Structure 1
Amino acid sequence: MSKLVPVFRIIALLEGVSYILLLFIATPIKYFYEDPQYVKLLGMPHGILFMAYVVIAVLISAYMKWSTRTLWIVLIASILPFGTFYIDKKYLNKTSRA
């Protein structure tokens, strides 16, 4: 299970970046320039990364000894812009030093 933590950190980073690109670049282009190409391009990878983030968060929560409250914070952060970066800094960065 400890091998999933570095994978989760990478997934969290990629999920956060894909969400920011989708939210702040692709969506405005879709509505201001009527070009949905970027939303289609980024939507599927973001959805897969989001699902992977949620599944791995649940899987590693016992290994990381997260309380139910912490797990909910980690899961809710995935729907907030820049939330996954906060989770990496606050909850995951400690494990890479150990």
Structure 2
Amino acid sequence: MDLKTATALRRLRLVSVPEGASWIILLVCTIIKYGVDKGFDAAPVLGPIHGVLFTFYVIFWLDAWNRAKWSKGTGALYFAYSIIPGGGFFAERRLRREAEDAVIASRARKEGVVNA
């Protein structure tokens, strides 16, 4: 994996957790607004914050998809993570595992270890 691909995946990983958390917080605040307290309205503050994080996620997702040469299914999965509440946490975990696997594979290649 080249440096630009690794950087694109890292950016996506770093924005996925705040995006997922903002989605959950916005959802909870909306439920409170319409279900419990009619006077509580955090959407004017949280909505734009989540919108910016979502926009960054989509931009970084497109860059990562382009650089990592993901299949359509993998690309769609990472996009789906952005639209389900808390999906950013799943995306971060999967991206972290892929990065760790890439590091292990790179070290194995350097040491001349061949898969059996």
TM-score by length of structure 2 reads 0.73
* 2:15 is aligned with 1:29: no
* 2:22 is aligned with 1:18: yes
> What residue in structure 2 maps to residue 71 of structure 1?
75
Alignment match of 1:49 (pick from 43, 50, 53): 53
RMSD across aligned C-alpha pairs, in angstroms? Answer: 1.6
Alignment match of 2:12 (pick from 2, 8, 11): 8
SS at match of 1:3: helix
> Which of these two proteins has the greater Rg computed from alpha carbons?
2
Aligned residue pair count:
96
Identity of aligned residues (%): 30
TM-score by length of structure 1 reads 0.85
Residues 61 and 40 of structure 1: CA distance in aligned 2, closer, same or farther (over 3 Å):
same
Distance 1:15 1:36 in 2: 22
